[in-house]
Amino acid sequence: MNDPKRLAAAAALELVVPGMKLGLGTGSTAAHFVELLGERVRAGLNVIGVPTSEATHRLAQECGISLTTLEETPELDLTVDGADEIDSALRLIKGGGAALLREKIVASASRRMVVIADGSKKVQTLGAFRLPIEVVRFGVEATRRAIIAAGAAVGCSGDVSLRMDGVGHALVTDEGHLLFDASFGRIPDPEGLALLLNAVPGVVEHGLFIGLADEAFVAGEGGIERLVR
């Protein structure tokens, strides 16, 4: 097992104890965690999970993990999820897998959020990865312009375009919304941008996760680095 994503997932698995209520993230790194958790469950570990996407729901079921919802279980002990970018203050960009809305709701309902990633995700300044922004369908062009204006107010400029699916249609998220990707290049003031995006009426949620991650396991050639907020 020397895939860095799987190594990071294995490190997070050590935090899991019997009886835990877990948030299960989305993406290729989180999938490693779900698979490894499944092995422990099949060996007798008793936990329950809330998946952050339909894809993770399917995988967790295949792995034999008992699932619940935030309606039945509104408070979770631990969420383990991947990220597209992590800075030294454990601010994240998420949403590369289009699951940011459920991911943020699940992380917010958790006492602790642990991020698992390979070393390529660590950055000095957020923004090289296109920032995903989930929006309602109504008024989408007006919302796009409001997002551009919000970015400009905090020194962020760049293309803001709808994410497409593989067959030339606008991608629709698990919650039935559309997704913009904002190519800002660098985001000098993530908190300021987050506040302005939150104030745009058509924006449902954005991929800036600030103050949510408590800890990260970042796996690289030198082993696993543990970052704590």
Binding residue positions for substrate: 26-29, 81-84, 94-97, 121
Report, in Å, the least distance between residue 20 CB and ligand 5RP.
20
Decide if residue 12 touches ligand 5RP (CB under 6 A). no
Beta strands 76-81 and 110-118 are: parallel
Decide if residue 203 touches ligand 5RP (CB under 6 A). no
Distance, in Å, from the CA atom of 130 to the CA atom of 136, rounded to the nearest integer, reads 19
Report, in Å, the least distance between residue 79 CB and ligand 5RP.
11
* Vertex 219 angle, CA 111 and 132, to 5°: 60
Among 6, 16, 23, 25, binds ligand 5RP (CB under 6 A): 25
Instruction: Determine the interface stretch with ligand 5RP among 36-44, 78-86, 156-164, 165-173 (rule: CB under 6 A).
Output: 78-86
Distance, in Å, from the CA atom of 191 to the CA atom of 197, rounded to the nearest integer, reads 10
Instruction: Determine the interface stretch with ligand 5RP among 82-90, 159-167, 170-178, 186-194 (rule: CB under 6 A).
Output: 82-90
Annotated catalytic residue: which of 39, 72, 75, 103?
103
Considering beta carbons, is residue 41 or 115 the nearer one to ligand 5RP?
A: 115
Number of amino acids touching ligand 5RP (CB under 6 A): 18
* 84-123 residues near ligand 5RP, rule: CB under 6 A: 84, 94-100, 103
Is there a catalytic annotation at residue 103? yes
Cite the active site residues: 103
Chain residues that interact with ligand 5RP, rule: CB under 6 A = 25-30, 81-84, 94-100, 103
